[in-house]
Structures are given as structure tokens and as C-alpha cells.
Chain A
Amino acid sequence: MDSIQDITLVQLFTSYIFILLLIAIVKWLGIRREKEILIASIRMSIQLALVGYLLTYVFENPNPFITVLIILFMQSFAVYNVYKRVKTTIAADLKKIIAFSLFIGTTFSMIYFDFIVIQFTPWYDPRYFIPIAGMIIGNSMTGITLGISTLMDGMHSRRPFIESSLMLGATPKEASRSIVRQSFDAAILPTVNSMVGMGIVFLPGMMTGVILSGADPLIAIKYQIVILLGITASVSLSILLLLQLGYKTFFNKKAQLKRTS
């Protein structure tokens, strides 16, 4: 840990100069995105500064309640983010299923990878628990957003196709099978693709962090492998729950496709 070189405040501000330069170029070229880049940079800095202080406190005072509370907050924020990022209105019963799938999918994966695979002590050690949770929850959130968007879009645009299958006596499950499969693909592909390019195209954030902190790259890699498998498991589990429960909400008791507004 002591081998890591600190960044002074002056150095930190130097990095903003580069961004300001970039903003000037963007403005000069008339791309009209200077405001967005500026706001995003400021927002990111404030958010991370606050998290930095929060994590310092939490790491110095490890407490099981605080750790669990932070995880619950992260999960809730992820659910809220999915609702916000999906362009169309989500029906109330589908919203419940999104929340359920994200909570159950990420919780099970965290329990397995934290307590059975890594086995850090104490079990609530925020130094391990919180960053791992961040990666698992964040990726599952992205997966669920992609999966639910594809599912809703498919159920809407392929309505005649689903009805044709029902006309031939198909169950709702059979009639929506191809759309469910497409939604799973859309949700899981980014995770699968990132695994394929891992280590060759890019070094993931977590590994970079561990290596910078002075740890042996081999340990960093072992952590990275476990985390990536944890992410894949969590995304898959959340999406499977979401799709297996979610497609049903588009049908009524008479196995009819519900009218959409």
C-alpha cells in the first residue's frame, strides 16, 4: 500500500487544464457539446470527492450495518437508474419484476463470490465488499436496461407475429420465445464481449487499481478473474429472472397479448 504515489491537489487541477483545452477546441469547432463535458466533469469530481470521504470513514470504521446499508442503497439506485434509462413507460408490474430481479440476482452472486469464493474476513469488510458490489451491481444494471428495452420493444413491434403464434395454439411462453432469446442476447453480449477482449484489448479498472496499489499482478489477475465471473453470473441470473417473469406481464389470463397504450 505504501508504494503508491499520491497525487497532490496541484497535480489534480493540472488534469482539468487538459479538459478545459479540449472544451475550447470543441467550442471552436462548433460541436456544441462543451456544456455537457463541463457539467459531467464537475459532477463526476464532486460525486467522487464525496464518495472518497465517505469511503474513508467507512473503511476506518467497519460496521456490518453500514456495509449492508450501502449495498442496499447501491441496489436501489441501480433500480431507479434502470427506470430512468428505459425510454418508454414501464408498467407497474414489470417495474416490480425489474427491482426483484436486480436485488435477487446481484445478492446471490455477491453471497457466492464474496463468502464462498474469496472468503474475506470479517465478512462485512467494506474494503472488499463495496468495490466488488459496485462492479456486480453496475454491470447487472446495464444488462437489465438492455434486456428490458429489447423485451418491451419486441413485444410492441412484433405484436402481429406473437398473435399469429397464439392463433396456432401456442402458449404465451412459446409465442414470446424468440423475443426472450433476443433480449437475453442483448443483455449478456456486452459482458461476453468484454471477457473476450480482457487483458489483450484493455486492462480493466479493478486490476489497474490493484496493480497501482502495489500488489503482485498475479494476485490482481486472480481477483479480476473472480470479479468477471461474478459479473457474468450476476448479469445472467438477473436477466434470466427478469425475462422468465417479465414476459408474462405482457399477457392476460386469457393468454391474450395485452393492449399497449
Chain B
Amino acid sequence: MFYLKNIEVNPILHIENLTFEKQKITSIIGKSGSGKSTLLKLLNQLNNYDSGIIEYEGKDISTINPIQLRREVVMLSQTPSIYEGSVKENLLIGLKFSEKNTESINDQKLLALLELFDLHKNLEENAEELSGGEKQRLAFARIILMDPPVYLLDEPTSALDDETTDEVMGQFFQFVKRNQKTVIMVTHSIKVAEKYSDQIIDITKLNEKEMSVTHG
């Protein structure tokens, strides 16, 4: 899905060779400040690199329109972004941003999606009044609704407690497997990485010399 060669982001990242496979779940681990999020944001063109090449589906990423790319490679931010308005508006905003049709989506579908993430909320409720964990679950429901081929997750569990982490991640990765999505996830939790990933990349080691890939 993604192939990185001789990537330099001074002074944070030096990657000789790295492949993220299609329809696989890859976790990126490493010390804080080691460039995990920087690497993730290279894949949706939110960050630039100084030299090297990144390919997405065999195409040089720098030739792809960044906005179109981000509609295919959807990223979940570390702190959930909640927009002024109702739970419903917040669920649909991803589709609105990517200029997709929302007419076919009825309230029942939205409620089922909330249920999936154990959010027993009214669709008209003010989303800004949700708790931190609830906001993150709403953000997960939002990106599932967008249904893109690739997901980038930046510390997706930082706003969740241990119990909800299992529940939310379990539901999300069930959806991912069933629909053959590609996921690249940055996490500080080795436990989460080991539990859900097909592949774990330690960015600290990667930066030191060549790739260090463990297949799980």
C-alpha cells in the first residue's frame, strides 16, 4: 500500500526501506519524540520530507492531490475533534468534508453505529457535552461511516480507559478485518500493538539503522 525509500525528515527521521502492506494492520511503536506521528503524517501529506520517495499504490505520493489522498487515507487525530453541533452533525461531518453524499444514511444506521461503540446517545444531543472518552468513540464512529480504504490512527487509545480501550478497539478492528481495510497505527501501548497488529515497527530501531520488522 505504502512504500518508503531513503526518507529523510531532518533531524527526526531516517528510513531506508519501509513497506506498509495492503489490508494489514501495522503498529508503529517507539519512544516519545522518535517521530512516530511525523511518519504517520507523511502518509497523508500533512508533513513534508526532505528527500526520498513515498509511493501509495505504486504512485509517487507527491503527485497525488493531497485533499483527494486524505479522503482515501483518513486519519484519526490524537485528541478527538468535536465540532459545534449535534451528535448527528458530528457523525456526518467526515462525509461532508470529503464531499460525499449523505442522503442514503438514515438515522437508524447512525444509531446502530453509536450502539456499536457503546454510545447510548440521542442524535440531537449536543456533542460538545460528551466526555473525553465518548468524544473519541464518536470520532471512531465518524471515520467508520466514511469507509475509506486506509486508516491512520494517532494514539487512538490515549483518551480511553483500559476497559473501553478493549471494547472500542475490538469493535473497530472487527470492522477493519471484515471490510479488508489497511490500518497504520501509532501507539505507545505495546499491549495494544501486540493484540491487534499483523506487523509492529519499532521506529527507534528503524532510525538507528535499517528496518526492523517483526511479523506478528
Question: Which 3 pairs show the lowest CB-CB distances between chains A and B?
Answer: A164-B81, A169-B71, A167-B75
Asked if A171 lies at the interface with its beta carbon under 8 angstroms from chain B, I say yes
Size bracket, chain B contacts: 20 to 34
Take A161-B81, A178-B83 as given contacts and tell me if A168 and B48 are in contact as well, using a CB distance cutoff of 8 Å.
no
Determine whether the beta carbon of B94 is less than 8 Å from that of A168.
Answer: yes
Asked if B169 lies at the interface with its beta carbon under 8 angstroms from chain A, I say no
Residues of A within 8 A of B (CB): 160-161, 163-171, 174-175, 178, 254-256
Determine whether the beta carbon of B66 is less than 8 Å from that of A168.
Answer: no
Instruction: List, sorted by A's number, 29 A–B pairs whose CB atoms are closer than 8 Å.
Output: A160-B81, A163-B46, A163-B77, A164-B77, A165-B97, A166-B46, A166-B70, A167-B44, A167-B70, A167-B74, A167-B75, A167-B77, A167-B152, A168-B74, A168-B93, A168-B94, A168-B97, A168-B143, A169-B98, A169-B146, A171-B67, A174-B96, A174-B97, A178-B83, A254-B45, A255-B45, A255-B67, A256-B45, A256-B47
Main secondary structure of the interface of B (DSSP, over half): mixed
Determine whether the beta carbon of B77 is less than 8 Å from that of A254.
Answer: no
Determine whether the beta carbon of A168 is less than 8 Å from that of B67.
Answer: no
Determine whether the beta carbon of B97 is less than 8 Å from that of A170.
Answer: yes
Cβ-defined partner of B48 (8 Å) among A166, A167, A254? A254
Q: Mark B130-147, 1 if CB is under 8 A from A, else 0.
A: 000000000000110010
Q: Which residues of A contact B47 (CB under 8 A)?
A: 256
Q: Which residues of A contact B66 (CB under 8 A)?
A: 254-256
Q: Which residues of A contact B75 (CB under 8 A)?
A: 167-168
Determine whether the beta carbon of A256 is less than 8 Å from that of B46.
Answer: yes
Determine whether the beta carbon of B71 is less than 8 Å from that of A160.
Answer: no
Give Cα distance in the complex from A167 to B76, angstroms.
7
Q: Which residues of A contact B124 (CB under 8 A)?
A: none
Give Cα distance in the complex from A164 to B82, angstroms.
10
Asked if B79 lies at the interface with its beta carbon under 8 angstroms from chain A, I say yes
Most chain B CB neighbours (cut-off 10 Å) among A164, A169, A178: A169
Return the chain A residue nearest B139 by Cβ.
Answer: A164
Q: Which residues of B contact A175 (CB under 8 A)?
A: 97
Asked if B57 lies at the interface with its beta carbon under 8 angstroms from chain A, I say no
Give Cα distance in the complex from A16 to B36, angstroms.
67
Q: A168-B74, A168-B142, A255-B70 are known; give 7 further A-B pairs, CB within 8 A.
A: A164-B79, A167-B70, A167-B76, A168-B98, A170-B97, A175-B97, A256-B45
Q: Which residues of B contact A169 (CB under 8 A)?
A: 67-68, 70-71, 74, 94, 97-98, 146
CB distance from B91 to the nearest CB of A (A): 12
Q: Mark B150-184, 1 if CB is under 8 A from A, else 0.
A: 00100000000000000000000000000000000
Cβ-defined partner of A167 (8 Å) among B46, B84, B93, B96? B46
CB distance from B195 to the nearest CB of A (A): 24
CB distance from A140 to the nearest CB of B (A): 28
Return the chain A residue nearest B46 by Cβ.
Answer: A256
Give Cα distance in the complex from A144 to B84, angstroms.
25
Return the chain B residue nearest A175 by Cβ.
Answer: B97
Q: Mark B74-105, 1 if CB is under 8 A from A, else 0.
A: 11110111011000000001101110000000
